[in-house]
Structure 1
Amino acid sequence: MQTLKSLITGIEWLISWSGRVVSWLALLLVLVVVYDVFTRYVLSASSVAVQELEWHLFALMFLIAAGVTLQKDKHVRVDVLYSRFSAKQKAVVNIAGGLLFLLPFSVMLITASWPFVVNSFLIMESSPDPGGLPYRFLLKAAIPAGFILLLLQGVASILRSVLVLAGNPLKPDSDV
Structure 2
Amino acid sequence: MNKIESSINKISNFLGKIVSWFTSILVLVVVYDVISRYFFGISSTAVQELTWHIFSIIFLLGASYTLKEEGHVRVDLFYQKYSEKTKAVVNLIGTLIFIVPFALVVIITSINWTINSFMMNEVSPDPGGLGFRFLIKAVLPLSFVFLLLQSFSLMINSINKIRRT
Q: Is TM > 0.5 for Structure 1 vs Structure 2?
A: yes
What is the deviation of 1:136?
0.3
Aligned pairs for 1:14-163 within 5 A = 14-163=11-160
TM-score, L = length of structure 2: 0.98
Letter in 2 for 1:148: V
What is the deviation of 1:103?
0.5
CA RMSD of aligned residues (A): 1.0
3-state SS in 1 of match to 2:41: coil
Q: Cα deviation per residue 1:109-135 (whole Å; 9 max; x = unaligned)?
A: 000111110100010000001110000
- Structure 1 residue ranges, 4+ long, deviating more than 4 angstroms after superposition: none
What is the deviation of 1:14?
0.5
Task: Identify, as 1 or 2, the structure richer in helix.
Answer: 2
Tell me, which stretches of 5 or more residues in structure 1 are unaligned?
169-176
What is the deviation of 1:166?
1.2
Tell me, which stretches of 5 or more residues in structure 2 are unaligned?
none
What is the deviation of 1:21?
1.1
Letter in 1 for 2:94: G
TM-score, L = length of structure 1: 0.92
Letter in 2 for 1:102: I
3-state SS in 2 of match to 1:101: helix
